[in-house]
Amino acid sequence: MAATTSAPIDLSAALQLAPTPAADWLVILPPALMIGLGAVLMMLRHRIRLHAPIAIAGLAGLVLIDALLLWRVLAVGPVTMVMGRWLPPFGIAFSVDVFGAVMALVSAVVALAAAVAACTEIDDARLRYGFFPFLLLLMAGVSGAFLTGDIFNLYVWFEVLLISSFGLLILGSEREQIDGAMKYAVLNLIGTTLFLIAVGYLYAVFGTLNMADLVLKARSISGAPLMTLSCLFILAFAMKAAAFPVNFWLPASYHTPRVTVSALFGGLLTKVGIYALLRVMVMLFPLQLEELSLVVAVVAALTMLAAALGMLAQNDLRRLAGYAVIAGIGNMMAGIAVGSVAGLSGAIFYALHSMLAMTALYLVIGRAAALTGEWTLSAQGGLYQRAPGFAFVSLALFLAVAGLPPFSGLWPKIVLVKASLDIGAWWLAGSILLSGFLVTIALARVFLLVYWRPAPGPQAGEGTLPAAAFGPILALGLLIVLFGLFPEWPLSLSQEAAAGLIDPAAYLGSVFPGGGAR
Amino acid sequence: MNTLIFRTVAPFLTALMLLFSIFILLRGHNEPGGGFIGGLIAVSALAIYGIAYGVAAVRRAIRFHPLSIAGFGLMLSTLSGLLSVFAGVPFMTGLWIAPRLFGVEVPLSTVMSFDIGVYLVVVGAITSIALALEEKESD
């Protein structure tokens, strides 16, 4: 510090001097609220009766904030807030466009549903070990990842959600859980380490971590090893998203914790990987993605087919649902491989549908298991007779997951098939349809055996269906039906999100209002 | 390790290290130090106390459950960031006040309260791990 300079320093180049409008706080509030409430619950760790009401109220608040944020982004375009007033590319920026806002909103809805469902499923011991604090911190990580505009910050939020998910995964410390958590932890740590290495490499090449700044610099740079970087990022995010060759951690771990936890994981975590893949590859390295599109397309096709076959082979319902999550990832990757606005909007729409549908699927399976007292297809049965309303909602959900009308799974698949036919990738369209067909068979088998077939033996499950368990399933089911009957709204949102990724001019404008630092 | 010499020295060493950890915490604003490293020194102090007198004595000495301390620190840090909403500046912007206490100007800031929060998170989390490990050993 030169203490002798008496001339006033021009701060406007480094600091944001204009007052921040209160509405901009919506950008930072989701992660801040979740961390704050998570901290409160940690302090109240022995008052476990207070955990559920505080967490549910907080998540309802999160849904409201994310909805307001989406509304604002739709009204005024991407919103940016820089931490500590330091202007980008020096300060960490939180930048939200339609893509980030809509993913954050749906993830909050899913988390709220899971928190309500948790009231009937999570026992006191697990509450005492911090189920709800972990849940809120997980949501802090997920919201932060969707809203941040800085790639290293994205890595940090990945770590936050990963560590919270370790906690949720081993709650209860059963032998099976520790076994699943080991596989999950090792594979995910390798994935995040690859991500970190790629980020370090990126910083060495570009000298910046702000995503908008990276977009600007990547356009003009020459001779940089962008292909290496792209491959590293694709591998790291594919690992997170559980794409085909690196997907084996998911079926090995997602069936071990309580089913509410699996519902959260199946709904949210893999979709964060898809989000990062879209954000980094489509926005930052579109040319490299185009060159790699055949690789991504092959991976997508293999992912969805392998997962659909996996679904057919499973006897344990939770493992079957794990493969259903992976089948969806294959469809989203197909959209990324196609790369046009249509393909990307199909991928984004599929991600929104998949968050709702996978969480609902796990919750339905958990409830079915609670009613029958069994986890396996071979031992369950007779649910249609015992709970016809529940069976009806389950059937709707199975049809949605399989992608049959009139539910939400149909439209993204139509968009994806049409987009891949448009670029002449008939084999990709064919594998989407074939995988959808196999998933339909697998889920029809579930409905046939678990619901229609008379119970094969005496069943030890509870006889009633509590409202707190059925409510979230019904609410998610209603959303799925609404998305299926009125697809214009999610479709136009997805298209706007995809267009914002392909041409991020508005995003760049919100980070650099003056048109860029250079 | 549980010798008479060690048990006699441990309380003094613990007190000295805790004091030193607060010194490191506060000097961290402009010089090497800060909440993280200060917190680690405080945990080492509590660990020494624990080795000398046992886990139960440490739990009594810190009064609150370690995880509650960590939770409080996390909340303090979050609130330090959120405070800037009232000043019309973005999240995590440093805000300063300099009240005069006994004729001395004491600069206080949200940067400092954030760092104290970090200190408490580190103390709470690592103490929790250290105590759990030592408890397992004594079984």
Complex ipTM: 0.89
pLDDT digits (tens, 9 = 90+) for A445-486: 999 998 888 877 777 776 677 877 888 999 999 999 999 999
Q: Is the Cβ of B132 closer than 8 Å to some Cβ of chain A?
A: no
Segment holding B96, helix H or strand E: strand B96-97
For chain A, the average pLDDT equals: 89
- Structure tokens belonging to residue A239: 């690992």
List B residues 77-96 in contact with A (Cβ-Cβ < 8 A).
78-79, 81-82, 85, 88-94
Is the pLDDT at A6 greater than 50? The verdict is yes
pLDDT digits (tens, 9 = 90+) for A254-288: 888 889 999 999 999 999 999 999 999 999 999 89
pLDDT band for A406, please (50, 70, 90 cuts). Answer: confident
Query: DSSP class of residue A514?
Result: T
Q: State percent of chain A over pLDDT 70.
A: 97
Cβ-Cβ contacts under 8 Å between A and B: the total is: 66
pLDDT band for A2, please (50, 70, 90 cuts). Answer: very low
CB atoms within 10 A of CB A330: 27
In this predicted structure, which of A52-56, A113-117, B87-91 has the lowest mean pLDDT? B87-91
Name the region of A187 (left: φ>0; alpha: ψ -120 to 50; beta: rest): alpha
What is the distance in angstroms between the CA of the first residue and the CA of the last residue of chain A?
26
Question: Using CA atoms, how far apart are residues A259 and A113, in angstroms rounded to an integer?
Answer: 13
What is the predicted pLDDT for the residue at A517?
Answer: 46
Question: Using CA atoms, how far apart are residues A305 and A311, in angstroms rounded to an integer?
Answer: 10
Query: Which residues does residue A79 pair with via DSSP β-bridges, in sequence order?
Result: A96
What is the predicted pLDDT for the residue at A143?
Answer: 95
- Structure tokens belonging to residue A378: 């071979």
Question: Using CA atoms, how far apart are residues A7 and A136, in angstroms rounded to an integer?
Answer: 48
Rounded to a whole number of angstroms, the distance from the CA of A490 to the nearest CA of chain B is: 31
Query: DSSP class of residue A20?
Result: P
Question: Using CA atoms, how far apart are residues A385 and A360, in angstroms rounded to an integer?
Answer: 21
What is the predicted pLDDT for the residue at A496?
Answer: 93
Q: Is the Cβ of A20 closer than 8 Å to some Cβ of chain B?
A: yes
Look up residue B52 and give its amino acid: A
pLDDT digits (tens, 9 = 90+) for B56-100: 999 999 989 999 999 999 999 999 998 888 888 888 888 888 888
Rounded to a whole number of angstroms, the distance from the CA of B78 to the nearest CA of chain A is: 6
What is the predicted pLDDT for the residue at A465?
Answer: 76
Query: DSSP class of residue A86?
Result: B
Which of A15, A20, A45, A163 is most worth mutating to test chain B (most B CB atoms within 10 A of its CB)? A20
Contacts (Cβ under 8 Å, ≥6 apart) of A283 = A211, A215, A501, A504, A507
Cis peptide before A78 (omega within 30 of 0): no
pLDDT digits (tens, 9 = 90+) for A310-348: 999 988 999 999 999 999 999 999 999 998 899 999 999
